[in-house]
Structure 1
């Protein structure tokens, strides 16, 4: 019998957990020391080692991703979980808004555009409602910071969040299943099966089911367990056709259906003169006389084809995304005629999408040269056609009081190219160029009981060329440094009219960004670290003015916005059984436009200068939702046992204070937020099975994370603490 040393037992134990937690380690056979696995990203549309890519990029995958999603979280789980990234929504589980390096867009209108692009399986998800597709059965999530305008879709001046689904393979039948149950009967069930159909065809079927019971009482109606529940399900079916080594085709069909409570707006939940919650705040209770619900159904399909032609590879990506229906209905004033607090007048609203159809097509050619020069070039086409509406209601009878319907056509096309040249074995340069034409046609279809101000239709078009240039130098086999300058572009945006504000147009915005960084494998790949610094200027940044003393939105441009900061990440093994990671970012943003004024809130305490016209100067303010500081830390300890592995994992995130709106006010400045999680589990049978208990928001931090700029101090709050258990298996 062969006797194993304690170290060898640990190495075998680490190997045993790889099927479920494959990000944990590889092993150096010579030293029996665990090593971090190589992380491959497609930030430059090619599969490359993350260390060799001249972009500030983070990859989330495997156990870390599963931990963050364990309690049935929607896509907002990404908020503050990687450097320089924030995600928020005033619509609950739908219509998320993304911010990278403080740069984003708070616009919640149906056709709002964002400077952060979300790309799912190589297809851009342009409309905000498409960006909330659930995260399940994915290979990983890449967060690319800074302009990505030469190689990705459209409207990417702030960065890209990129999802890649796990793909079918021809090898064998395999898959996984996972089920969790948590506080408030929150349940999440997901699974996937890979099924080879022949020597040339394979299928992968993935599904997700999530549910939470209503648990918030409405004290106005006396109905217990009336709100905050949801039902979510999503499906994905993929087919791989690979008849030869030179051609393969990947087909993908997917859908999402969700219903439940919309965001709960809480009247006067913020204390006057501070950003504290009122003393009698209780997450489990609300007093509201408006209806509250939302429902959404989306569907999509794509086809990704590739041909290996010897010296080049040809790619075709065809995508369709559609919204069959979307409706979100809420009590915008957050209360009743009797309160809580002062509710000057009642407003109940709904917004939604009757239909949305998005088509995109990309052809790309990529070289395969053995020499120092390689390139890729392509063409891109995008078409969106949609109709959306906004309604108001009588708060006593809930009868429809007004109905405004808008329609938008958006057509864009682009030609792009990128070249990489290896000057030497240690130094390479990259350059990219993209020319884009973007056109929007917007019109009011119906204005029932709305006296629209101004024109009823608008047409806007813009042409723009963007470029980037970068260099990477290998200081040695483990350390590389890079520098990058890049430009970006976001096409003009159009917002619907109201009885008080005409159709508004925000002109195109542009960004020039400078970035430098260093990436390293350390201690024989037992650790990995990166550090980047950046500086950017945005001209004509599109901003959204919301509320004031009326329930309206309009678009404006700021002459200039500046941003600068740094991002750092490090992860590694402290011992063969103990792994830790730390990451953080500093993001400074500033609006520079001395002539820019906005309407102020009705009840809050403004800290900005107020002009003689009663409007507020926002010159010098940070961008909304831009946290200066974000920190993350994780720690995982593994105990090898006779028949399996016991482990404990904790993760923590911190983001500093934020402004909710363009102006600064004591009440509408979000407090710093610290949230932590803990997971204790056991896996066995070579990592095939795992059972774990978990807690999210372990400190039970309860605070406002957003507000409604209308007629009182209405706010909405973060998710409460959650306990749960999860079982996961593979086959």
Structure 2
């Protein structure tokens, strides 16, 4: 018989009262449960835990990005994939337009500006053509909602979409390669290699090749499989120089070449009095007598220098972006003299950039204090010079009927600063300010068969100071709450003249935004969630009037517009092998200007009040392309096997109806859009290799997502269903 010591007897007695064995088992089980990795973002220009950042922000990376891009999608893949974000384009794979919280700009003119700023590797991509650079070999995509006007350069009153490419390192040779083949012989090949060159130098080379065959038949010319194809090439080469722990230099050179079909406009594709597709709609057929083509070549380089001086860090970011050539031509009446349907006149347009150069320079200093006070400050310079043009053609003869060329110089500089102070271990206050001077010089260079109305040149400049103030409070180690008030600014915009409209100028717009939210890690970091609410008012908002009864574009200002809503996200492990996420947003927007009227569409059913002058009141309307609801859901299940893992992943997105234009019409209200994807595959060798099959737009949802209003019920549609396979490997 075993004799127990007094201590052992006490432990046994205690275990009879307290379930020590059960508690130890639960602790062991918790230790084996998978946890979500810590999400680090640079929304405040420093690397921080997303939970500590007083901004509504979403980060996309790794598998989520790979799934969404698997079928060769361009940057529009982001549309509706995160709360409060929409992306659309009437130019196809080029010239995307971004909207955050319903706040954006539908302007498609050569020098259009947007309130959403796109930043790639810390360099702003200002012109709309630059914003379409392909997404490949990136460390992550951050979507920052609300004004970001104190820390980021240029026009950011709606928010920022921020791309960070994967960077070279000195550690080892590594990289990946990926190849997919899908419907319509769509292929996408992507690869990257990190190569240490010495103890101080490393290189990273990345490349992307995408192709899709033409597969839409032109029933007018009897040319089979003549439209909707593309070829996309993009490259990036980076060099890291790190001679010491106190200095490093990163050099980045990149380029893009794309050619193929421009957006296909389809005449009378919408049923009169509805927003339904006509009964005989067929994506693979079009009846058009206009030429269709698109080509683009861009290049850029940047240098990022970092000095660690002990108490502070000094950064220098020098950037250059250029458009060597851009041309897009399409049949905007969408048909032929014989139809489909009634087409009042035959017209096609071509336009683009014969050249654009953008230079940026930023110097920034940030503190490294161990104490409660930290700060950053800097100066920023931006210069852009571009030549754009627009042409009209007679579709029946293909003869050019007019030509208008313009030149714009845009120069801006800013000084900014931000400070944070830890009032206590749980409460941090942040504030920032930025002063900006922005100047544009615009002139008509040449006009053929265009009798320009009004002045042939315009100079505009504006100075503005923006600020923000926020507070973050840690309710406990897993939950934090924040509140933020911020202002933003977009400089005046200028649109080229036409035969009936002079050069138009939209004055500067400003925004004041209020936001509050809560962010939490849940269930021992097996899940995380966030919720934010916001309210904003834009004064003197720049709006774009397009079409009506003629093919014109002009800029106007609304007295004000308002928005409010909420955003929520949650993701986590339901079981160790089952991971799911759910996100959504509600955005209510409203134009408030009882004196604002615009021209109406030629053949649609207007639902807004029409004045005695035949113009339409847009007072009370939502902003164009502003989806009231956006929802996303993903689920991934994993089956561990002896040598690898089987998995299945599905993702679904929903956005509610949108207005295509400033006015409301039955035909030009885009239906709610639901799209889903499915991916199933097998990975092995610790995830080093993967083979998968996928389908995008799994329900083959087909509907109008944009329109041209001046001629007939012309529209363009979303991408059809796509099946494909992909192989991915690492080394």
* 8 Å Cα contact 1:148/1:156 also seen in 2: yes
User: How far does residue 29 in structure 1 lie from its aligned partner after superposition?
Assistant: 9.1
The Cα offsets for residues 514-555 of structure 1, whole Å up to 9 and x where unpaired, read as 000000000000000000000000000000000000000000
8 Å contact from structure 1 (residues 431, 467) kept in 2: yes
Where does residue 181 of structure 2 map in the other structure?
A: 181
Deviation of 1:394 after TM superposition, in Å, equals: 2.1
- Per the alignment, residue 11 of structure 1 pairs with none
Q: Distance in 2 between matches of 1:587 and 1:276?
A: 24
Structure ID, larger Rg: 2
- What secondary structure does 1:31 align onto? helix
Give the Cα separation in 2 of the matches to 1:309 and 1:688.
Answer: 39
Whether 1:471 and 2:471 are equivalent positions in the alignment is yes
Counterpart in the other structure of 2:706: 706
Kindly indicate whether residue 352 of structure 2 is the aligned counterpart of residue 352 of structure 1: yes
Once residues 262 and 141 of structure 1 are traced to their aligned partners in structure 2, the CA distance between those partners, rounded to angstroms, is: 27
Give the drift of 1:709: 1.5
Matched residue, 2:578: 578
2:457 matched residue in structure 1: 457
Counterpart position of 1:593: 593
1:91 aligns with 2:91: yes
Instruction: Give 1:243's aligned residue.
Output: 243
C-alpha displacement of 1:153: 1.0
* Match status 1:101 vs 2:101: yes
**Matches for 1:384-463 after TM superposition, within 5 Å:** 384-463=384-463
Is 1:629 the counterpart of 2:613? The answer is no
Alignment partner, residue 134 of structure 1: 134
Equivalent pair of 1:381/1:412 in contact (CA under 8 Å): yes
CA 1:28 to 1:152, structure 2 compared with 1: closer, same or farther past 3 Å? farther
Partner SS, residue 68 of structure 1: helix
Query: Is contact 1:485–1:515 with CA below 8 Å preserved after alignment?
Result: yes
Residue of structure 2 in register with 1:7 after alignment? none
Deviation at 1:30, TM superposition (A): 6.3
> CA separation in 1, counterparts of 2:408 and 2:332?
26
Q: Once the two structures are superposed, what CA deviation does each residue of 1:360-405 show, in whole Å capped at 9, x if it has no partner?
A: 0000000000100000000000000000000011212212211100
Rounded Cα–Cα distance in structure 1 between residues aligned with 2:63 and 2:321 = 29
SS at structure 2 position matched to 1:280: coil
Provide Cα deviations, 1:42-90, integer angstroms capped at 9, x if missing partner: 0000000000000000000000000000000000000000000000000
1:164: which partner in 2?
Answer: 164
User: Given that residues 232 and 258 in structure 2 are in contact (C-alpha distance below 8 angstroms), is that contact kept between their aligned partners in structure 1?
Assistant: yes
Which residue is equivalent to 1:373? 373
- CA separation in 1, counterparts of 2:665 and 2:244? 63
Tell me what 1:294 maps to: 294
Runs (5+) with no aligned partner, structure 2? 1-26
Measure, in 2, the Cα distance between the counterparts of 1:215 and 1:127.
Answer: 31
d(CA) in 2 for partners of 1:348, 1:465: 43
Alignment of 1:656-667 (within 5 A): 656-667=656-667
Matching of residue 487 in structure 1 with residue 487 in structure 2:
yes
2:47 equivalent in structure 1: 47
How many Å separate the matches in 2 of 1:289 and 1:63? 43
Structure 1 distance, partners of 2:539, 2:687, is 52
3-state DSSP class of the match of 1:202? strand
**Is contact 2:346–2:396 with CA below 8 Å preserved after alignment?**
no
Paired with 1:268 and 1:660, the residues of 2 have a C-alpha distance of 16
Residue 503 of structure 2 corresponds to residue 503 of structure 1: yes
Alignment partner, residue 721 of structure 2: 721
CA distance in 1, matches of 2:188, 2:611: 52
CA contact (8 A) 1:531 1:569 kept: yes
Cα distance in 2 between the residues matched to 1:487 and 1:341 = 48
SS of match in other structure, 2:34: strand
TM-score, structure 1 length as denominator?
0.96
CA distance in 2, matches of 1:560, 1:710: 26
Gaps of 5+ in 1: 1-26
**Partners of 1:544 and 1:28 in 2: how far apart?**
61
Distance 1:31 1:63 in 2: 25
Question: Which residue in the other structure is 2:651 paired with?
Answer: 651
Whole-angstrom distance in 2 between the partners of 1:103 and 1:713: 26
| Partner in structure 2 of residue 341 of structure 1 | 341
What is aligned with 1:686?
686
Render the CA deviation track for 1:618-669: whole Å, top value 9, x for unaligned: 0000000000000000000000001100000000000000000000000000
SS of residue in 2 equivalent to 1:451 = coil
Give yes or no for contact 1:28–1:35 (8 Å, CA) kept in 2: no
On the 8 A contact 2:590/2:620 being kept in 1, the answer is yes
Shift of residue 338, structure 1, vs aligned partner? 0.5
Number of matched residues? 705
CA drift at 1:142 = 0.0
User: What residue is the counterpart of 2:197 in the other structure?
Assistant: 197
SS at the partner of 2:31? coil
> Does the residue aligned with 2:622 lie in a helix, a strand or coil?
coil
C-alpha distance after superposition, 1:117-152 (max 9, x if no partner): 000000000000000000000000000000000000
State the distance in 1 between where 2:191 and 2:471 align.
42
